[in-house]
Amino acid sequence: AKYSWVDKDTCIACGACGATAPDIYDYDDEGLAEVIYDGDGNHGVKAIAEDLYDDLQDACDGCPTDSIKIADEPFNR
Ligand code: SF4
């Protein structure tokens, strides 16, 4: 399984990830990205569906600040 969260301390609110993977990433009131998939709340605990893995990787690769974290285990943040 794959899990993800966004480090808002380094996110620059560029808007790329939500455009690339709108089912996984959305933005808070300040425009900073967060994982909204399956009600994750940016905790990195919801297993992302396999059909979204390409979007997940594309968003991660496209983040200019490497703020998108991905792992095979839940982050439990
Ligand atoms: Fe933030 Fe990276 Fe998403 Fe841009 S692509 S909004 S820097 S997490």
Measure 17 CA to ligand 1 centroid, in angstroms: 6
Question: 24 CB under 6 A from ligand 1?
Answer: no
How far is 46 from 65, CA to CA, in rounded Å? 23
User: CB burial class (10 A; 0-12, 13-18, 19+) of residue 50?
Assistant: exposed
Average pLDDT of the residues in 58-76:
97
User: What residues pair up with 2 in beta bridges, in sequence order?
Assistant: 48
pLDDT of residue 77: 87
Confidence of residue 64 (pLDDT cuts 50, 70, 90): very high
pLDDT digits (tens, 9 = 90+) for 2-59: 999 999 999 999 999 999 999 999 999 999 999 999 999 999 999 999 999 999 999 9
| CB of 65 closer than 6 angstroms to any ligand 1 atom | yes
Q: What is the pLDDT of residue 59?
A: 98
User: Model-level pTM?
Assistant: 0.97
**Which of 28, 57, 68 to probe ligand 1 with, by most ligand atoms within 8 A of CB?**
68
Number of H helices, E strands in the chain: 2, 4
